Chain A
Amino acid sequence: MNRDDRWDDEVRDAYRGAIEGEEQARERALMRLRREPTPRRGSTSAWWRDPDALRIRPWAAAASLLAVLAIGAWGGAWWMASRGGHAGRPAIATLPSDATAVTFVFEAPGASRVSLVGDFNGWDPKATPLAHASTGDAWTVRVALERGLHAYAFVIDGRDWAPDPSAPLAPVATFGRRNSLVVVGEDAAL
């Protein structure tokens, strides 16, 4: 056996031999593991923390998304229909994010109440009442309107309909009196 072979044997023996303190270190590691809480795979409380549990195929994700959207759309349609489609209050509450707030002002000397009616609230005189200014004859209301062209009018004391004197008039007096027009979202809103 030459010198190199002897050296190889010594190194091999050194690796095979027990290291001082190794047994104690192994015991300490096992103790630490026993103290840690056991992961409960079957439990519902921790599945969402497991990254593997949420891994699904892309087509399955898309199919799930489509199903959710379809159910949501059907539910929304059913809900709208079940409410009878009352246009007034929800017309404002459910407007999309591209809605624009428009302030309507109307001078009505001697009026006890004024409301706004238009395409945006189903022409319901009870849907959008105006607030009386603390001084003067002005009545105002702020309404969120969707982009587009809207016809509207004011109703004074629940019976008299009047157009907005400061706004463009609708070209035709369909039911005896003309409406006013407001445009939202064009180059220059009226």
Chain B
Amino acid sequence: MRRLLAVALFVLVLAPGRASGDEAEEARLRVRLKPELAASVIEVVRSTAAQGLPTAPLVGRALEGASRQADDAAILDAVERYAAGLVGARRALGATARAAELDAGAGALMAGVPEDSLTSLKRARPSGSLVIPLIVLSDFVARGVPVGSASNTVLSATRAGAADPALLRMRERIHDRILRGEAPAGASREELRALLLKTHPSNERGGREPSEERRP
């Protein structure tokens, strides 16, 4: 009886909270978007929610588009592409991936990072959060590092056991190198080499980054 009561309490407390969140999101969309566009976006949002995926990034894209005065077709397209990105991110990262990981993963996929790379990243760090590695990966791509190099850099660093602060420092150093005029691919290669040397000093003799093929 007590267990039943606890379950009922849990459902009653959570269900209205979720519903109120959905209603608030939809109300926000109706206020900021034209009725037709709002209806289309809400449809995508509801479909995404029904799949158990986070909807806040979709609402964010729609509101961002409205604030940037993008046309309706561009807003809907952005929302739909992000929704597809979330689906792909969950496929790549698994059902246990958290909302922030799915959000970051969707962005990476939309930037052209293959799903395989995300799956490999998940294998490299099976229990820890992947948000920072995915953000760093996306940042590399945004700054002109070729997708393959960017993926390999983050994957190699993560497999070598680099923690989030180390990944963030590497991102800053690569950013600085690019600002100084270095080619993005070369900058990422050099900084990965430096990070691997710090992580595993024995790599100094070989001095080359581990390749995809050599890793499990």
Contacts of B11-57 to chain A: CB distance below 8 A: 12-13, 16-17, 19-20, 23-32, 56-57
Q: Which A residue's beta carbon lies closest to that of B135?
A: A168
B27 adjacent to A119 (CB under 8 Å): no
Q: Which A residue's beta carbon lies closest to that of B79?
A: A174
A181 adjacent to B135 (CB under 8 Å): yes
The interface residues of chain B lying within 8 Å CB-to-CB of A186 are 100, 129, 131-132, 164
Q: Shortest beta-carbon distance, B66 to chain A, in Å?
A: 7
Contacts of A22-71 to chain B: CB distance below 8 A: 59, 62, 65-66, 69-70
Report if A149-B31 is in contact (Cβ < 8 Å); known contacts: A66-B12, A172-B107: no
CA distance A122 to B107 in the complex (A): 19
The interface residues of chain B lying within 8 Å CB-to-CB of A62 are 5, 9
Residue in B63, B141, B165 whose beta carbon sits within 8 Å of that of A87 in the complex: B63
The answer to the question of A187 belonging to the interface, with a C-beta cut-off of 8 Å to chain B, is yes
A149 adjacent to B8 (CB under 8 Å): no
Residue in B12, B78, B139, B163 whose beta carbon sits within 8 Å of that of A175 in the complex: B78
Q: Shortest beta-carbon distance, A74 to chain B, in Å?
A: 6
Q: Shortest beta-carbon distance, A71 to chain B, in Å?
A: 9
The answer to the question of B84 belonging to the interface, with a C-beta cut-off of 8 Å to chain A, is no
The interface residues of chain A lying within 8 Å CB-to-CB of B135 are 149, 168, 181, 183, 190
Report if A187-B28 is in contact (Cβ < 8 Å); known contacts: A66-B9, A125-B67, A171-B110: no
A80 adjacent to B24 (CB under 8 Å): yes
CA distance A47 to B83 in the complex (A): 57
Q: Shortest beta-carbon distance, B1 to chain A, in Å?
A: 8
Q: Which A residue's beta carbon lies closest to that of B129?
A: A186
The interface residues of chain B lying within 8 Å CB-to-CB of A172 are 107, 110-111
Q: Shortest beta-carbon distance, B150 to chain A, in Å?
A: 10
Interface residue tally of chain A, by bracket? 35 or more
The interface residues of chain A lying within 8 Å CB-to-CB of B82 are 174
B27 adjacent to A85 (CB under 8 Å): yes
Q: Shortest beta-carbon distance, B125 to chain A, in Å?
A: 11
Mask, B131-144, CB within 8 Å of A = 1, is 11001101101110
CA distance A122 to B139 in the complex (A): 23
Residue in A65, A73, A151, A170 whose beta carbon sits within 8 Å of that of B20 in the complex: A73
B131 adjacent to A119 (CB under 8 Å): no
The answer to the question of A84 belonging to the interface, with a C-beta cut-off of 8 Å to chain B, is yes
Q: Which A residue's beta carbon lies closest to that of B9?
A: A66
A81 adjacent to B132 (CB under 8 Å): no
Q: Which residues of B contact A (CB under 8 A)?
A: 5, 8-9, 12-13, 16-17, 19-20, 23-32, 56-57, 60-61, 63-68, 70, 74, 78, 82, 99-100, 103-104, 107-108, 110-111, 113, 128-129, 131-132, 135-136, 138-139, 141-143, 163-165, 168, 171
Q: Which residues of A contact B (CB under 8 A)?
A: 59, 62, 65-66, 69-70, 73-74, 76-77, 80-81, 83-87, 117-119, 122-125, 147-149, 151, 161, 168-172, 174-176, 178-179, 181, 183, 186-188, 190
* Beyond known contacts A84-B30, A168-B136, A187-B164: 11 more, CB 8 A cutoff: A69-B9, A77-B20, A119-B60, A170-B138, A171-B107, A171-B110, A171-B141, A172-B110, A174-B61, A179-B64, A186-B164
The 9 lowest CB-CB distance pairs between A and B, nearest first, are: A73-B16, A171-B111, A85-B28, A171-B138, A77-B20, A85-B27, A169-B142, A168-B139, A188-B164
Would you list 11 pairs from A and B whose C-beta atoms are within 8 A, ordered by A residue? A66-B8, A84-B30, A124-B67, A125-B67, A149-B103, A169-B139, A174-B78, A176-B68, A187-B163, A188-B165, A188-B168
